Amino acid sequence: MNTLTVLFLFALTAMLITEFWLSRRQIQNIQQHRDSVPDIFSEQIDLSTHRKAADYTIARTRLGLVNGIYSALILLAFTLGGGLQLIDDLSRQLLEQPLLVGVFFIITTIFVGAVLEMPFALYKTFGLEARFGFNKTTPALYFTDLIKQTALFLIIGVPLLFVALWLMQASGKLWWLYLWLTWMAFNLLAMIIYPIWIAPLFNKFEPLQDESVSKSVAELMQRTGFKVKGLFVVDGSRRSAHSNAYFTGLGKSKRVVFFDTLLDTLSSDEIVAVLAHELGHFKRRHIIKRISIFFLISLLALALLGWLMQQDWFYQGLGITTASNHAALMLFMMAGPVFIFFIQPVSAWFSRKHEFEADDYARENADARDLISALLKLYRDNANTLTPDPVFSAFYDSHPPASIRIKHLQSSG
């Protein structure tokens, strides 16, 4: 058996075992604390709300575990099971021009994968989310969104695939460097045009009308010296009862977006505190740091792919008999996450560190008590568990556990 095949199966098995172990810890820990609200939250969160968050998190964890096993089986079917080779053979039978073969192969693979994963996506939206009162999406809206997403993929993704495969074919040994430069330029452009042209295809964005909130936000912006294109409210309630606020865009296209559900929940001071936290990510250069890390990892990944695609064992070890640029690209995208799974805690740690730093910035420019109050309301309304397993949280969570985050804000104050 090919050495890469053995390594791939070992890594995949280790990933599944780890996911099962972590999920089991998470479920057991939440069940153990389901009937008792932690003391730090006892005055703000009632027992029924705490139980709902516990049941919701357990249900999501179980669904994620089953979905992970199912996705692993699909991955095996595509690779060692010969699925990719079958699609490659079909592509070569239907088309002759190498670039067309490659684009057809990748599009078909993505389409088949999306169809196979759709049952879980449908159940999550219309089953789990609906059961806990969060889903507001109608079937008509869901499939309208799906059609729009598919159209965008064809309009934007297909030309990008042509460019990528052409660079791999025509630009010599340094194709990976030219492709990296092209990919980074596209990502930067996407950050600029997304809030202006793409996001409005799916949601309605209207200028913030609440004068008290607008005034408070304007004062925060003036106090921190931060400029944005505008303050907008998005109709998040059309799809979900979850609430959020975020910055989007790059350069002059930066804008602040509030979910309408958030404005219905938080006071003006609490909104300013949440916004100050989000602003902290920019002021502490977290966005630039994350973009820089993404650029660096992308460069290293493409350089690695440039070497792997010259090795026959790379294709043979993952179920492909005929070497090609498009097969190498697809294999790398599908098998890569399995081999880097155990790096995830490092990424999660950096993200939690950034959240603490953003909280500190919010405390400096708003009232920490308002941020604590806002967070408690968001935990309550989004049914976030207050008692996650520490190991599960350290491995996966991009945000600190609720109790640790609140204590940090209280101690900072």
Question: Would you tell me how many other CB atoms lie within 10 Å of the CB of residue 320?
Answer: 20
Rg over alpha carbons for the chain, rounded to the nearest Å, is 23
Span 2-21, mean pLDDT? 97
DSSP secondary-structure letter at 146? H
Is the predicted pLDDT of residue 231 greater than 90, yes or no?
Answer: no
| Consecutive H or E run containing 312 | helix 312-316
Structural domain containing residue 357: 1-413
Span 88-112, mean pLDDT? 96
Can you tell me the distance from the alpha carbon of 129 to that of 132, in angstroms, rounded to the nearest whole number?
5
Is the predicted pLDDT of residue 254 greater than 90, yes or no?
Answer: no
Question: Would you tell me how many other CB atoms lie within 10 Å of the CB of residue 404?
Answer: 16
User: At 208, is the pLDDT very low, low, confident or very high (cuts 50, 70, 90)?
Assistant: confident
Q: Which of 267, 229, 295 is nearest to 373 (CA)?
A: 267
Residue 123 one-letter amino acid: Y
Can you tell me the distance from the alpha carbon of 383 to that of 52, in angstroms, rounded to the nearest whole number?
7
**What pLDDT was estimated at residue 395?**
97
pLDDT digits (tens, 9 = 90+) for 31-67: 999 999 998 898 889 999 999 999 999 999 999 999 9
Instruction: State the chain's mean pLDDT as an integer.
Output: 92
**What pLDDT was estimated at residue 218?**
82
Q: What is residue 401's three-state secondary structure?
A: coil
**What pLDDT was estimated at residue 413?**
52
pLDDT digits (tens, 9 = 90+) for 145-158: 999 999 999 999 99
39-43, 164-168, 325-329, 395-399: range with lowest mean pLDDT? 39-43
**What pLDDT was estimated at residue 169?**
94
**Do 236 and 244 touch, CB atoms closer than 8 A?**
yes
DSSP 333-346: HHHHHHHTGGGHHH
**What pLDDT was estimated at residue 412?**
58
Name the H helices within 229-285: 260-265, 268-283
**What pLDDT was estimated at residue 282?**
85
SS3 string of 93-104? HHCCCHHHHHHH
Residue 113 in tokens: 């994968």
Is the predicted pLDDT of residue 251 greater than 80, yes or no?
Answer: no
User: At 394, is the pLDDT very low, low, confident or very high (cuts 50, 70, 90)?
Assistant: very high
**What pLDDT was estimated at residue 289?**
93
Can you tell me the distance from the alpha carbon of 37 to that of 55, in angstroms, rounded to the nearest whole number?
14
**What pLDDT was estimated at residue 408?**
93
CA distances from 397 to 12, 100, 391 (A): 21, 41, 10
Span 2-26, mean pLDDT? 97
CA 152 to chain centroid, in Å, comes to 18
Q: pTM value?
A: 0.91
pLDDT digits (tens, 9 = 90+) for 336-372: 999 999 999 999 999 999 999 999 999 999 999 999 9
Write phi, then psi, for 340 (nearest 5 degrees).
-105, 10
Number of domains in the chain: 1
pLDDT digits (tens, 9 = 90+) for 237-246: 888 888 877 7
Question: Would you name the residues annotated as active-site residues?
Answer: 278, 359
Residues in a beta bridge with 256: 231, 247
**What pLDDT was estimated at residue 325?**
96
User: At 78, is the pLDDT very low, low, confident or very high (cuts 50, 70, 90)?
Assistant: very high
Output 221 or 84, whichever has higher pLDDT.
84
**Do 176 and 305 touch, CB atoms closer than 8 A?**
yes
Output 28 or 221, whichever has higher pLDDT.
28
User: At 227, is the pLDDT very low, low, confident or very high (cuts 50, 70, 90)?
Assistant: confident
Is the predicted pLDDT of residue 411 greater than 70, yes or no?
Answer: yes
Residues in a beta bridge with 135: 240
Span 303-332, mean pLDDT? 96
Task: Give first-to-last CA distance, the chain, whole Å.
Answer: 60
pLDDT digits (tens, 9 = 90+) for 190-205: 988 888 889 899 999 8
Can you tell me the distance from the alpha carbon of 386 to that of 395, in angstroms, rounded to the nearest whole number?
17
